[in-house]
Amino acid sequence: AKMLEIRKKYCNPMTMKVTYYKKPVYIHQGYMQWLWDVDGHRYLDLFAGVATVSVGHCHPQVTEAAVRQLKRLWHTTNIYIYSPLHEYAEKLASHFPDPLKVVYFTNSGSEANDLAMLMSRLHTGNFDIITLRGSYHGGSPQTMGLTSNAAYKYPIASGLGCHTTMCPDVFQGPWGGSHCRDSPIQTIRDCSCSPGCCQANDMYIGQLKEVFATCVPSRIAAFFGEPIQGVGGAVQYPKNYLKETYKLVRERGGVCIADEVQTGFGRTGSHFWGFQGHDVMPDIVTMAKGIANGYPMGALVTTPEIAASFAKGVHFNTFGGNPVACAIASSVLDTIREDGTQQNSADVGTYLLKELAKLRDKYEIIGDVRGKGLQIGVEMVRDKASRQPLPADAMRQIFECTKDMGVLIGMGGVYGQTFRIKPPMCITKEDADFFLAVFRHALESYMEQR
Ligand code: PMP
């Protein structure tokens, strides 16, 4: 209660919101996929501090690397030469195909996307940027312009030159998830599963062309897209949507930017980077969150050619490439390889998606289950026929009940209608079964009461 009072008095509770406000959770400690509150209750963490704890809370190997570096050198800025930054730059670049080889360090995803905006404009000499409905790209004044989710933006502060196009697969879209019943476990909705997907692709590409024709000048600076939308609710695109979009954007002089803040570092299971699942090659990739398992850090990777356009001044930020952050991030890459984290994401994620799809078929209030690896969305509806979003109080009841039974999940989607599951990527099938039992119970107790 004291902490809540402090929060009320010294932090603006209008903007810094507690997710479980009915009965808040006071987190004390974490280990791998588990969190403990101050009273010693254990929670299975399926939200990972918003898709951030990648290899596990306080992972022993990563913690050891952090402590080792903390004892040696905390900080000196990148105007000096020190090994953690250089070792990590080389290691990170080795995870990218050519020509994505030039690394910039930031402290967050917003900052990486700010930098990507600037870089794309300098490189192309153009100004306008296209983003997708439901996207989230950051909370800085500039990136709020990219973010097309009203809950997270103050339109008056930003958005100049940023245009939103409809995003495929949005809630109540003509295609939605219902045509893909048989194949809920693909990176991208595969056209072979339904003619509806192809129609949807044509329709959304048509809408993008409409945005080009009516909203933007003939030349643009960039297209920003998350390979699978995160905050938007694990929204996936029809097969070839990104491929065609990249082509149209490049025809108009723009560069293509993949925001891998949520999808990177093996989260989608099948690929290390989400963009690889779409068979596209971005010009700029931004990342943060999972990069350092929860330690504040972000990065941007681009081509030497684009980097050369961004060479008139100095790119400096005090903490970018901090020795401790780089030592941790380096250990995260090693750990992903040694623990088989990406494969686990694929295995447990596929299992969860399949089991959740069974619940979707059983319960009238689950409208769609989608995602890839451990980037999963469960979209809730009043009923399958209306496809109206499940009202906020019902969402909250299920959400809080799940927490009371020891599982933390997330919420998102344009209408707040999607439960989000993005755990530390070390969860097991047994954890998935525990969640499924809890979730089933939460759904049934809501349906009994309504
Ligand atoms: N891009 C995506 C896809 C995100 O999900 C987020 C954060 N939710 C950001 C960018 C912004 O990252 P940060 O909060 O580290 O600034």
Question: Which of 147, 235, 262, when mutated, tests ligand 1's pocket best, judged by the most ligand atoms within 8 Å of its CB?
Answer: 262
Residue nearest to atom 13 of ligand 1 (CA): 109
**Strand 407-408 vs strand 42-45: parallel, antiparallel, or unpaired?**
parallel
Q: What is the ipTM of this complex?
A: 0.99
The pLDDT tens digits for 3-16 are: 989 998 999 888 88
* pLDDT of 179 strictly over 60: no
Q: How confident is the model at residue 158 (pLDDT cuts 50, 70, 90)?
A: low
The DSSP 8-state label assigned to residue 32 in this structure reads: B
140 pocket-lining for ligand 1 (C-beta < 6 Å): no
226 pocket-lining for ligand 1 (C-beta < 6 Å): yes
Spacing, Cα 169 to ligand 1 middle (Å):
21
422 pocket-lining for ligand 1 (C-beta < 6 Å): no
**Which tokens sit at 355?**
């089991």
The pLDDT tens digits for 359-411 are: 999 999 998 888 999 999 999 999 888 878 999 999 999 999 999 999 999 99
Name the residue type at position 103: V
Spacing, Cα 364 to ligand 1 middle (Å):
32
Residue nearest to atom 7 of ligand 1 (CA): 138
Among 48-52, 103-107, 194-198, 256-260, the range scoring the smallest mean pLDDT is 194-198
Spacing, Cα 362 to ligand 1 middle (Å):
34
Predicted confidence at residue 147, as pLDDT, reads 87
Question: Which of 15, 107, 136, when mutated, tests ligand 1's pocket best, judged by the most ligand atoms within 8 Å of its CB?
Answer: 136
Residue nearest to atom 10 of ligand 1 (CA): 137
DSSP assignment of 207-236 equals HHHHHHHHTS-SS-SEEEE-SS-TTTTS--
Spacing, Cα 113 to ligand 1 middle (Å):
9
136 pocket-lining for ligand 1 (C-beta < 6 Å): yes
262 pocket-lining for ligand 1 (C-beta < 6 Å): yes
Q: Per-residue pLDDT averaged across 128-141, rounded? A: 90
CB burial of residue 317 (10 Å; 0-12, 13-18, 19+): middle
Q: How confident is the model at residue 266 (pLDDT cuts 50, 70, 90)?
A: very high
Predicted confidence at residue 106, as pLDDT, reads 98
Task: Specify the ligand 1 atom closest to the Cα of 289.
Answer: 15
261 pocket-lining for ligand 1 (C-beta < 6 Å): yes
CA-wise closest residue to 114 among 142, 154, 79? 142
Predicted confidence at residue 14, as pLDDT, reads 83
Predicted confidence at residue 171, as pLDDT, reads 41
52 pocket-lining for ligand 1 (C-beta < 6 Å): no
CA–CA gap between residue 428 and residue 430 (Å, rounded): 5
Which residue is listed with tokens 């967050």? Answer: 108
Task: Specify the ligand 1 atom closest to the Cα of 111.
Answer: 16
264 pocket-lining for ligand 1 (C-beta < 6 Å): no
Q: How confident is the model at residue 335 (pLDDT cuts 50, 70, 90)?
A: very high
110 pocket-lining for ligand 1 (C-beta < 6 Å): yes
Task: Specify the ligand 1 atom closest to the Cα of 288.
Answer: 15
How large a percentage of the chain has pLDDT more than 70?
92
- 233-242, 304-313, 430-439: which has the highest mean pLDDT? 430-439
Question: Which of 16, 52, 106, 110, when mutated, tests ligand 1's pocket best, judged by the most ligand atoms within 8 Å of its CB?
Answer: 110
Task: Specify the ligand 1 atom closest to the Cα of 50.
Answer: 8
**Which tokens sit at 21?**
């406000």
Question: Which of 47, 50, 137, when mutated, tests ligand 1's pocket best, judged by the most ligand atoms within 8 Å of its CB?
Answer: 137
Predicted confidence at residue 196, as pLDDT, reads 65
- Whether the upstream peptide bond of residue 99 has omega within 30° of 0, thus cis, is yes
The DSSP 8-state label assigned to residue 150 in this structure reads: G
Spacing, Cα 136 to ligand 1 middle (Å):
7
**Which tokens sit at 223?**
């297209």
Among 233-237, 333-337, 403-407, 415-419, the range scoring the smallest mean pLDDT is 233-237
Predicted confidence at residue 168, as pLDDT, reads 55
Q: Per-residue pLDDT averaged across 251-268, rounded? A: 97
152 pocket-lining for ligand 1 (C-beta < 6 Å): no
* pLDDT of 102 strictly over 70: yes
